[in-house]
Amino acid sequence: MKLDKYNKDIFNRAELLLGKERMQRIAGARVIIFGVGGVGSWCAETLVRSGIHYLTMVDGDEVVASNINRQLMATTATIGQPKVEVLRQRLQLINPDAEITAICGRYNAETAESFRLEEYDYVIDAIDSIGDKALLINNVTRLKDVQLFSSMGAARKFDPMKIRIADFRKVTGDPLARVLRQKFKHLGQFPERKFLCVYSEEILPNETRVERQETKVNGTVAHITAIFGHMLASLVLRDICQNDTNGSI
């Protein structure tokens, strides 16, 4: 993809670091993010600010007040609006030329085929629902040419120095990863190839208890969810840039 002058002005600092060829490759990559909450929203913005031109975002939720402490597009002015649409509007202000698709919906057994994952270069999994997350992971890892990066649990964490990246099979100390493994075992279906995860072994207790009708709520803070999102974005960018004609970065 050819970058026009306007895009070159926006991304000139990145081009100084990465060079024109890498920026062209970044601009041409197609990325889809499932879940744009505390992790996915920051990932999406980092990708767009870094030169990703083709981005699809999938999330069926609306902004609520409890999102404001950690989700990028959540403010008192956006309560009640679809998360993906609010975030899309923000990202278009960053790069009006970017092709950003907002899908207000979920990835599940009924909708999976409609997403045509084979058309993307990268899939970012920032889904909370165990069943939907397991389905997405299994389906993406069957696709040879699509790279998957996944977020494990960002709740009940406070120390950014404990955040790590590892192959899913080597993730330790993370309750979400443990439940996912149990889900794969119950289904009798396991990921067909390796994929990297962002995770932390830190598990802090909730100091107070809040119960929703359908599920337990865990404490979460912005600096942790944002770092998870930034690290997911970095995995995409590093994968694009590594082993090219300019050498690894």
* Phi then psi dihedrals of residue 85, to 5 deg: -75, -40
DSSP symbol at 105: S
**End-to-end Cα spacing for the chain:** 21
Pick the CATH number of 5-241 from 1.10.3710.10, 3.40.50.720, 3.40.50.300, 3.40.50.2000: 3.40.50.720
CA distance 98 to 89: 11
Here the tokens at position 6 are 């306007």
For residue 32, the cross-strand partners are: 56, 123
Q: What is the pLDDT of residues 10-37, one digit of tens each?
A: 999 999 999 999 999 999 999 999 999 9
Q: What is the pLDDT of residues 141-170, one digit of tens each?
A: 999 999 999 999 999 999 999 999 999 999
Q: Is residue 1 predicted with pLDDT exceeding 60?
A: no
The structural domains of the chain, with segments of one domain joined by +, span 5-241
Q: What is the pLDDT of residues 76-126, one digit of tens each?
A: 999 999 999 999 999 999 999 999 999 999 999 999 999 999 999 999 999
Output Rg (C-alpha) for the chain, integer angstroms. 18
